[in-house]
Amino acid sequence: MSQTISLKDAVAKIKDGMTIMVGGFLANGTPNTIIDALAESGVKDLTLICNDTAYPDKGVGKLLVNKQLKKLIASYIGATPEASQMMNAGELEIEFCPQGTLAERVRAGGCGLGGILTPTGLGTIVAEGKQVINVDGRDYLLELPLHADVALIGASVADEAGNLVYRGTSKNFNPLMATAADVVIVEAKEKVPVGDILPENVHTPGALVDFILE
């Protein structure tokens, strides 16, 4: 069963040099309380896997602006001008990944797959250094799975056992990332007793969740 955790202890789980996944789409569905505290913690040299860099003053953009990141794997950085500036200055390594491919790589990491095959990116910079596999006369890129030390998840509702529901577009990357990390920490907007969430409405089962923010 999931355990409750204080904000201080949640942030303390993340150490220098770790790889973290953070759910969200331009900070929607992002556990922003945890991210804000992480931005003040001084932890550094992180590898961040997320859809985008949110904004300079909101979401994971704060970690980037603070230069707490060593590497970023994402599909979009346009809302955070500092990202391209740091990339061009050699201060941040960025691996661009098409959004659908990014989602599938995370899913592959969570399912224990060896990778996925996709035609997306063939003949572009995305294909550089990657293996091309031919299936029935058609070429595909082999995209490797993604896994993290810690996943930080933003849920709409959590029960005391860690079962989660995401409302609207906050679902985005959160369910996938909850499967693909050694430790899963959840920040929920609402907490309810066990039984309040119907089994068929559970998006992430509590068995995948290690900690829920107090």
Q: Which CATH number do you get for residue 75?
A: 3.40.1080.10
Mean pLDDT score, 93-110: 97
Please compute the mean of the pLDDT values over residues 193-214 and round it to a whole number. Answer: 97
* Structural domain that includes position 78: 3-113+144-213
- Check pLDDT > 90 for residue 191: yes
Task: State residue 164's pLDDT score.
Answer: 98
pLDDT at 132 over 70: yes
Q: Amino acid identity, residue 13?
A: K
**Is 10 domain-assigned?**
yes
Domain count for the chain: 1
Residue 184 lies in a domain: yes
Does any domain span residue 103? yes
Buried b (16+ CB within 10 A) or exposed e, 161-191: bbbbbbeeebbbbbbbbbbbbebbbbbbeee
pLDDT given at position 56: 96
- Does the structure show a pLDDT above 70 at 37? yes
User: What pLDDT does residue 1 have?
Assistant: 66
Q: How far apart are CA 113 and CA 97, in angstroms?
A: 18
Check whether 47 has a pLDDT greater than 80. Answer: yes
The per-residue pLDDT for 147 is 98
Task: Write the pLDDT tens digit of every residue in 149-190.
Answer: 999 999 999 999 999 999 999 999 999 999 999 999 999 999
User: Is 25 a member of any domain?
Assistant: yes
pLDDT for the residue numbered 2? 80
Q: How far, CA to CA in Å, does 80 sit from each of 46, 103, 135, 156?
A: 18, 21, 39, 26
Proportion of the chain above pLDDT 70, given as a percent: 100
- Within-domain flag for 138: no
The whole-number pLDDT of residue 17 equals 98
Phi, psi of 44, deg, nearest 5: -140, 175
Q: Is there a domain that residue 47 lies in?
A: yes
Q: Quick check: is 52 in a domain?
A: yes
pTM of the model: 0.95
Determine, yes or no, domain membership for 41: yes
**Residue 119 above 70 pLDDT?**
yes
% of residues, the chain, pLDDT over 90 = 98
71-92 tens-digit pLDDT: 999 999 999 999 999 999 999 9
